[in-house]
Amino acid sequence: MDLIRSKKRRVAEIDFGYVGDIEDVNSRELRLLLDENIVPVIAPLTHDGNGQIFNTNADTIASEIATELSNYYNVYLFYCFDKKGVLRNPNDESSIIYDLSLPLFNEYREDGIISEGMIPKLENGFKAKLKGVKEVLITNSENIATGKGTRLV
């Protein structure tokens, strides 16, 4: 199925190899599946339309799909990982940031409170929120049903 097209990431300081940057999400095909009550499971692989497969960031794929589908549905984007939410202190499981605004995220990133792999997840989440996704929540599998975790506001 031709769901997500991408192009090879441009070589700048680093050559990322076969990493793709998304150019297009085929929302028509996704909506056909959803309208038939089929829940698609989408691997973090994309292609260029000419047979080249790319590894693509899963958080980016989720954000791009959510953004595209928000043109047709009320979309809630949940990022699920091993923590109960974004933590002020990665060594303290109880230091969850429950509501995170873009200015606060930028401040925490600058101060080193939020770093490494959490940065692209949050950047993708805020991008989706700004482009029409109704809600973005970052949590673990145990808390998805309860809605507890870090909510992007």
Domain spans, the chain: 1-56, 75-153
d(CA 112, CA 122): 14
d(CA 132, CA 63): 11
Q: What is the pLDDT of residues 48-61, one digit of tens each?
A: 999 999 999 999 99
Q: Taking a C-beta distance cutoff of 8 angstroms, is the pair 64, 23 a contact?
A: no
d(CA 47, CA 28): 17
Q: What is the pLDDT of residues 61-111, one digit of tens each?
A: 999 999 999 999 999 999 999 999 999 998 899 999 999 999 999 999 999
In angstroms, what is the C-alpha Rg of the chain?
A: 16
Q: Taking a C-beta distance cutoff of 8 angstroms, is the pair 122, 86 a contact?
A: yes
Say what the pTM is. 0.90
Helix (H) or strand (E) holding 22: strand 20-25
Q: Taking a C-beta distance cutoff of 8 angstroms, is the pair 58, 110 a contact?
A: no
How many CB atoms neighbour CB 82 within 10 A? 6
